[in-house]
Amino acid sequence: MTEAEIEGAENARLDAVVLRLDRRANYKGFPYDRFDQMSGTIAKRHIIKGVFARGETSAWIAPPGGMKSALMASAAISVASGADWFDKRNKERCGVVYFALERADLVKRRLEAHKIRLNLPDLPIVVVKAAVNFGAAETVGRVIETIREIEAEYNCPAGLVIFDTFAKLIAAAGLDEDKAKDQGLIFSRVQQLKTATDVHVALVGHTGKNVERGARGSNAILGDVDMMVEISGDIIRTVTVTKANDAPEGPLFSFKSDIHEFGVDDDGDPETVNIVSEDTVSTQTAKPGEPKLPGNERTMFAILHDAGRNGLPLEEWNADAGIGTKRRAYLVEARLGLKKKGLVMELGDRWMVNHS
């Protein structure tokens, strides 16, 4: 092609682009992205890499007393301060809006404990303790407006929105967490919220009576979240991804709890709160070829596998697992489950992985 022909072709292409944009300005349908515009969506926009990403939803579930809310308080501190979280890299310091739909004062005590321990300045974190009725369409707009006001106050974009708990979020709308259609309505509101604000929404929830069956209520939640995370264990708690759209499943990290003492009250009794410890705990990751097991069995198998061919005495195995100190039945059940599967064996006073 001659230089004139090349210039003419380029001008024709630019004319077509301008014409297309003019036409789109008058479109009345839903907005869309063209095939040739999709390359910019390849990279996920992480807040905490591998955990929280903008425009996504995660669910964090555990039995009552499982430290799920304490873990979210710890996450809020890391997101808002720009610090890494359990060796997961912080990619964007941003604001956190914590909707404490139950026990808001406990949430605030935990945040204050972290502030004191880490000698933190003011951070872009707020706690909202009002009931949020997502059954009413106008509530989404009010939540969005709250986020915008907080962003303006701190001059910082919001990145993480926590609803604690999912059960209270559903109950406030007069809905039933056992019904898929009721969960669907709540998640449609969550999607509206994410579309308008581009935040990550973290939902705090409960496991059912049978812990191994995952989240309480309808299993429709599995189809609505980008990541499902379960917290198991007693003294040492393991955080495990049990479902993810585009991330590996398996253990994320382990942690311990700690008691923070504020001082004493008027009667001389200590004022304390249970928080996530800053101490590092080795993650008990599964080894290649290990079987997929329920939470407590997975933890105990990993400990015994790490001990090597000599295994461990029963009491040492129990102590390392940290599961049975308060709920000894869990430990016995997990050990018998592993033995029944032929994965571990007892030899004298020691237990070891069955490598046969």
pLDDT, tens digit (0-9, with 9 covering 90-100), for 265-277: 888 888 999 999 9
**Measured between alpha carbons, how far is 327 from 207 in angstroms, rounded to an integer?**
16
Percent of the chain with pLDDT over 90: 46
On the question of pLDDT at 183 being above 70, the answer is yes
Query: Which pair of tokens denotes residue 342?
Result: 């032929």
Residue 252, C-beta contacts closer than 8 angstroms, at least 6 positions apart: 50, 51, 86, 88, 229, 239, 240, 241, 283
- More confident position, 294 or 256: 256
Q: Looking at residue 286, what is its pLDDT?
A: 41
Question: How confident is the prediction for the chain on average, in pLDDT?
Answer: 84
Q: Looking at residue 213, what is its pLDDT?
A: 55
On the question of pLDDT at 324 being above 60, the answer is no
Fold of 46-276: Rossmann fold (3.40.50)
Q: What mean pLDDT do residues 245-252 have?
A: 86
Q: What mean pLDDT do residues 113-139 have?
A: 93
Pinpoint the residues of the chain covered by CATH 3.40.50.300. 46-276
Contact 317, 308 (CB under 8 A): no
Q: Looking at residue 249, what is its pLDDT?
A: 87
Angle value at C-alpha 236, between 129 and 223, nearest 5 degrees: 55
Q: Looking at residue 23, what is its pLDDT?
A: 66
On the question of pLDDT at 129 being above 90, the answer is yes
Fold of 295-353: Arc Repressor Mutant, subunit A (1.10.10)
Q: What mean pLDDT do residues 229-251 have?
A: 88
Q: What mean pLDDT do residues 231-242 have?
A: 88
**Measured between alpha carbons, how far is 257 from 287 in angstroms, rounded to an integer?**
26
pTM: 0.71
Pinpoint the residues of the chain covered by CATH 1.10.10. 295-353
Per residue in 332-350, pLDDT tens?
Answer: 888 888 888 788 888 877 8
- More confident position, 40 or 109: 109
Per residue in 32-82, pLDDT tens?
Answer: 777 777 776 667 899 999 999 999 999 999 888 889 999 999 999 999 999
Q: How many CB atoms lie within 10 A of CB 194?
A: 17
On the question of pLDDT at 210 being above 60, the answer is no
Q: Looking at residue 85, what is its pLDDT?
A: 95
Q: What mean pLDDT do residues 2-9 have?
A: 72
Amino acid letter at 80? A
Residues composing the chain: 356
On the question of pLDDT at 189 being above 90, the answer is yes
Amino acid letter at 320? D
Q: Looking at residue 300, what is its pLDDT?
A: 79
Q: Looking at residue 317, what is its pLDDT?
A: 79
**Measured between alpha carbons, how far is 222 from 65 in angstroms, rounded to an integer?**
23
In our burial notation (b when 16+ CB lie closer than 10 A, e otherwise), range 14-32 reads eeeeeeeeeeeeeeeeeee
**Measured between alpha carbons, how far is 289 from 185 in angstroms, rounded to an integer?**
41
**Measured between alpha carbons, how far is 193 from 99 in angstroms, rounded to an integer?**
14
User: Percentages helix, strand, coil for the chain, rounded to the nearest 5?
Assistant: 40, 25, 35
Closest by CA to 117, choosing from 225, 322, 10, 276, is 276
- Between 12-16, 108-112, 342-346, the lowest mean confidence (pLDDT) is in 12-16
